[in-house]
Amino acid sequence: MESKSFFSAKRITGIAVLTALVIVLQTVLGSIRIGATSFSLVLIPIVLGGVIYGAWTGAFLGFVFGFITLMYGIVGADAFTAILFQNQPLETALLCLVKGTAAGLVSGALYKELSKKNELVAVFLAAAAAPIVNTGLFIGGSLLFLQQTLLVNFVESGSTVVYFLFIGCAGFNFLVEFAVNLVAAPTLYRVIRILEKGKRK
């Protein structure tokens, strides 16, 4: 799906539209919270960018998503991220940026590799990969680098950081994100088919 000309007008316009969509979804709908964290409809345009324009475009869109999350934490608009940033700014910044970037990168790369055999399956797996990578890196990074901050600020007496991350943060949020991405996958597939027909004309 990648254009021969990386800086073609159509490509730049398409990426700009997806970037705007990422910004709107994260700033407007990012405030919808389930538990401690918000769930991310923003993963859909990130996946779409990855499968249409390639893994690096997916990574760029994921970085934009992570950057907005980080900025919300820095200015205090997202209380959860704000507390993490106040206590461990470097670790929090890296986690925000890396998990989103990796989600887009992996989705795009997975699609490119698997679409050679079955495009529909590739779209579904790319859509599924984004929330898995995003949530997986959030949990793994939090356990490795932010455990003490989480324990002091969020974990109730008698509970554990692992329980808080899997149930309080990621649990239902991940299921919603995963389900939304899978439901959106057939639409993503139709978009890709329409674009492919347009290229053949």
Residues 188 and 72: their CA atoms lie apart, in Å, by 29
Question: Average pLDDT by consecutive 10-residue portion of the chain (201 residues)?
Answer: 63 92 85 59 93 95 96 93 97 97 97 94 95 96 97 92 89 84 85 69 55
State which residues form the domain around 112. Answer: 9-200
Structure-derived torsion over alpha carbons of residues 101, 42, 106, 102, reported in degrees to the nearest 10 = 20
126 within domain boundaries: yes
Other CB atoms within a 10 A radius of the CB of residue 46 amount to 32
SS3 53: helix
In-domain check, residue 139: yes
Which of 98, 99, 131, 125 shows the shortest CA–CA distance to 113? 125
In a domain, 174, yes or no: yes
Residue 180 lies in a domain: yes
Q: What residue spans of the chain are helical by DSSP H?
A: 9-28, 43-53, 55-75, 79-87, 89-114, 119-145, 147-153, 161-163, 172-200
Q: What is the pTM of this model?
A: 0.89
Secondary structure (3-state) at 34 = strand
The answer to whether residue 104 sits within a structural domain is: yes
Are the C-beta atoms of residues 135 and 170 closer than 8 Å to each other? yes
Return d(Cα 117, Cα 68) in angstroms, integer: 36
Does residue 4 sit within a domain?
A: no
| b/e per residue 79-118 (b: at least 16 CB within 10 A) | ebbbbbbeebeebbbebbbbbbbbbbbbbbbbbbebbeee
Count up the domains in the chain and report the number.
1
Judged by phi (left if over 0) then psi (alpha if -120 to 50, else beta), residue 76 lies in: left
- Quick check: is 35 in a domain? yes
Answer yes or no: is 1 within a domain. Answer: no
The CATH number of residue 139's host domain is 1.10.1760.20
